[in-house]
Structure 1
Amino acid sequence: MQIVIVGAGPTGAALALLLVQRGIAVTLIEAAKDFHRVFRGEGLMPSGLDALEQMGLSALLEHIPHRQLNAWEFILGEKQLFRVEEPMGSKRPCTLVSQPPLLKALISQAQTNDGFEFIQGVPIKDLCWSNQRVTGVVLSDGQKLSANLTIGADGRNSVVRQRAKLELVRQPKDIDILWFKLAASPKFAADNVFRTILHGDRVFSVFHGVEEGKLHLAWVMSANEKTDSKQADWGEILASHSPSWLAEHFRNYANTIESPIRLSVVVGCCPHWHAPGVMLLGDAAHPMSPVRAQGINVALRDAIVAANHLVPLLQASAEHQQIDMALAQIQAEREPEIIRAQKLQLAEAAQGEQLRKNPLLRSLLAQLAPLLRKQIRRSWLKRQHEMRQGITKVQLTV
């Protein structure tokens, strides 16, 4: 049995490792020449940390750059609305991890197994078909690779999805974000809090990333955004929407603010993740919102469920029809968690948008915050549990 996996992100790299460790030949294809991207999600929730532990990979984190979050805080105007300490009832706190070294480590482990091939820097051009079944891929250099099963784990702009003509149903509104890096404040280094700040009709989040001495900042763009992101005085803009201690930092370190990158985040889900001979997983099947860092976590859980269903069939050299039936079972098992997580993400984003658009509501909430803080905090905590722990049970059984 020969498996081709397109995309060496968290889904593709983790699934490739699980398969080759169990004696299944895998060719992993990555279009990019390296693993560095403008943006890669860093947040491992308890569900993602549990997935790595089940794969026997917890020790990897000790050898790659990582940083724990200490708390989550919401600031309205200049006043704290509420703060919640990690690990919020979980065994482990949310941990930020640098994806490039994580992916390199997963692939290095896969390369210690026979039957693993890694092709990097060569994108796929098309799929191969025979009798209405996908039988492999065509690379941009003209090379054709045959496969009993092709897995598209090539992200939210998946070429595999496009070539297989699998529809992506997008949420009505994409999320546009300006992504910044700048010098970190010692306050963040000592107490790494993910702060979301709503000031007037502006909202942004800031935290200390994995990279030493660097703050990450996500500025949510409004529909009528008029700021010239390249020419704006971001030090002053950010300061004018921040509590005094953070405003001082933005002004003092304005010269370290890197030119922002605009991210247009597509969110949605495919009604069908598979066709004969081909399966989509991760962002290729269900691109996630950045709200509460779900992407990497559901990706790792996708890999575990796919391995559970596929390994016994591939080890037994099952008929193609049996493999195709398993693809439907993988979607059926994973889809409820994805749909629920995206609904929770959408609800949280909608709540923030309602506050952003309604000055009267913001004013009332700011005035009543001392009285309502415990109730607001409790409501937020309740919503986070599923997104942190996972919504369905995922257990590696092969």
Structure 2
Amino acid sequence: MLVVGAGPAGASLALLLARRGLAVDLIDATGPGGRPFRGEGLMPSGLAALAAMGLEPLPAAVSQRPLTAWSFFLDGQALFETAEPMGSAAPCTLIDQDTLLSELLEQAGRQPGFRFHPGQAVSDLLLHDGRVAGVHLADGTSLEAALVVACDGRDSLLRRRGGLEMERAPSLLDVIWFRLESPGADAVLEWLAGRFVTVVGSSGSYALFPSARGGVQLGWAIAPEPPPVPTPAGPGAWAELWAGDAPEALARRLRELPAAAVQGPVRLPVRVGLCPRWQRHGLLLLGDAAHPMSPLRAQGINMALRDALVAARHLGPALLDGEPGAIDAAAAAVFAERQPEIRRIQALQEQEARRAELLRRRHRLRGLLARTARWSGPLLARRWLASQRPLRDGIAPIAKDPGAAAMIG
């Protein structure tokens, strides 16, 4: 079989199927390290998925940093803070996604049927009598397979070539990303103390957290449409903008950041959607190709890993059998099992985005909550915690992969 795209969905699916004795070709146009900003947040749902693959504990080669708490500030005033693991089996853990992908590929490479094709771009689907039978590569060659699994991201070429439509949801935000590099950002890193911090004020809202790669990641939320966003004229002006809404201790550290420590901005448009169909004969979509997620609560990588586990469970026996009808039925079963969780998670992300947008726009409400934080904070904390459980733990338990014992940490 063929898997296109070596992100979390593609790399983990290729490993799981190769471990079952299947011949798997994994094709990727870029490979690890090809994107400047990758999601770092593994929710308990994603950690459970990796555990079900046999990756528990996470291998030492995967750079990782468990979060200690979630903190919220309005107009410089602490609103509430909740400590990890918030009732879950494990704390949310930040990881360097490139090292995780490298580990998955390294373990897949131990399987005799696995072949990796980095730096190879797919140009089109290969069709036989209307059925997808492989892919054409940009170098003019072709690869045939009983099934092509498209894990090629939110702008999936194979989704378009396969005629599978995407139902797009309106996006309430885009994100401008920055990296605050050490050692210049060490004072900010020390103040964070392992927390994920959200700051909302008159200038807008942003979140910052300690990166598993070192230093700090900061995401500034902006409206995807006019009015125009702030365009500070350099690192110092950006730091001053963030400091204006921050609590005093953080504001002081932001203003002291050396210009060389501030890397960015990189604007990443947020696209959210869900395909009403994930398959046609010989083709299956997974991950962002099937359901691009909002960045809120880091669901992209977690849902991709869960997609791969379910897909491997259904596809493995059908691919070993090799009968086209059984393969198509297995692909349909993947869609039927995964779509309800994706719909629910996207709805919860939208609710959270709307609450954040309300605070950004309603200055009086934000000021009232900040002034009454001693009483309003605990109430809001309870409501927030209740809404986080499915975003953290997923909608349903995830089944262990039969080959998990073969994993080597």
- Same structural fold, with TM-score higher than 0.5 when normalized by the shorter chain: yes
Asked if 1 retains the 8 angstrom alpha-carbon contact of 2:341 and 2:394, the reply is: yes
Matched ranges for 1:170-319 at <5 A: 170-173=168-171, 175-183=173-181, 184-186=185-187, 188-189=189-190, 191-212=193-214, 214-222=215-223, 223-228=226-231, 231=234, 233-255=237-259, 256-317=261-322, 319=323
1:335 to 339, 342, 354: 339
Cα drift, residue 188 of structure 1: 3.2
Cα deviation per residue 1:137-185 (whole Å; 9 max; x = unaligned)? 0011011000100000011111111111111111123631110011434
Asked if 2 retains the 8 angstrom alpha-carbon contact of 1:174 and 1:264, the reply is: no
Please identify, of 379-388 and 31-40, the stretch whose mean Cα deviation from structure 2 is larger. 31-40
Aligned match of 1:157: 155
Cα deviation per residue 1:99-126 (whole Å; 9 max; x = unaligned)? 1111111111111111111001011000
Cα drift, residue 360 of structure 1: 1.9
1:110 to 103, 108, 112: 108
Structure 1, unaligned runs of 5 or more: none
- TM-score, normalised with respect to structure 2: 0.93
The whole-number CA distance in structure 1 between the counterparts of 2:121 and 2:353 is 34
Asked if 2 retains the 8 angstrom alpha-carbon contact of 1:185 and 1:249, the reply is: no
* Letter in structure 1 aligned against 2:40: E
Change (3 A) 1:229 1:321: farther
Cα deviation per residue 1:241-267 (whole Å; 9 max; x = unaligned)? 211111111111141211310110111
Cα drift, residue 314 of structure 1: 1.5
Cα drift, residue 393 of structure 1: 2.3
State the identity as a percent.
Answer: 44
Asked if 1 retains the 8 angstrom alpha-carbon contact of 2:172 and 2:353, the reply is: no
Change (3 A) 1:33 1:394: closer
Q: Secondary structure at the match of 2:372?
A: helix
Asked if 1 retains the 8 angstrom alpha-carbon contact of 2:52 and 2:398, the reply is: no
Q: Does 1:82 align with 2:80?
A: yes
Asked if 2 retains the 8 angstrom alpha-carbon contact of 1:60 and 1:105, the reply is: no
Q: Secondary structure at the match of 2:6?
A: coil
The whole-number CA distance in structure 2 between the counterparts of 1:249 and 1:365 is 25
Change (3 A) 1:381 1:307: same
2:327 to 323, 332, 344: 323
Change (3 A) 1:63 1:259: closer
Aligned match of 2:383: 379
Please identify, of 237-246 and 72-81, the stretch whose mean Cα deviation from structure 2 is larger. 237-246
Asked if 2 retains the 8 angstrom alpha-carbon contact of 1:154 and 1:160, the reply is: yes
The whole-number CA distance in structure 2 between the counterparts of 1:329 and 1:33 is 29
Q: How many residues were matched structurally?
A: 394
Aligned match of 1:147: 145
Cα deviation per residue 1:290-325 (whole Å; 9 max; x = unaligned)? 0001111111110010011011112222x1112111
Larger relative CO (CA 8 A, sep 6+): 1 or 2?
A: 2
Q: Does 1:11 align with 2:9?
A: yes
Q: Secondary structure at the match of 1:62?
A: coil
Aligned match of 1:97: 95
Asked if 1 retains the 8 angstrom alpha-carbon contact of 2:27 and 2:118, the reply is: yes
* Letter in structure 2 aligned against 1:167: E
* Letter in structure 1 aligned against 2:250: L
Aligned match of 2:36: 38
For the aligned residues, what is the CA RMSD? 1.5
* Letter in structure 1 aligned against 2:149: I
Cα drift, residue 186 of structure 1: 4.0
Q: Secondary structure at the match of 1:234?
A: helix
2:66 to 57, 68, 75: 68
Aligned match of 2:360: 356
Asked if 1 retains the 8 angstrom alpha-carbon contact of 2:282 and 2:328, the reply is: yes
Asked if 1 retains the 8 angstrom alpha-carbon contact of 2:18 and 2:111, the reply is: yes
Change (3 A) 1:44 1:280: same
The whole-number CA distance in structure 1 between the counterparts of 2:387 and 2:152 is 30
Change (3 A) 1:274 1:231: same
Aligned match of 2:129: 131
The whole-number CA distance in structure 1 between the counterparts of 2:186 and 2:102 is 30
Cα drift, residue 82 of structure 1: 0.5
Asked if 1 retains the 8 angstrom alpha-carbon contact of 2:32 and 2:102, the reply is: no
Q: Secondary structure at the match of 1:92?
A: coil
* Letter in structure 1 aligned against 2:68: N
Please identify, of 172-181 and 21-30, the stretch whose mean Cα deviation from structure 2 is larger. 172-181
Please identify, of 146-155 and 321-330, the stretch whose mean Cα deviation from structure 2 is larger. 321-330
Cα drift, residue 131 of structure 1: 1.5
Asked if 2 retains the 8 angstrom alpha-carbon contact of 1:267 and 1:289, the reply is: yes
Aligned match of 1:25: 23
Please identify, of 175-184 and 155-164, the stretch whose mean Cα deviation from structure 2 is larger. 175-184
Asked if 2 retains the 8 angstrom alpha-carbon contact of 1:230 and 1:259, the reply is: no
2:372 to 352, 368, 371: 368
Asked if 2 retains the 8 angstrom alpha-carbon contact of 1:5 and 1:150, the reply is: yes
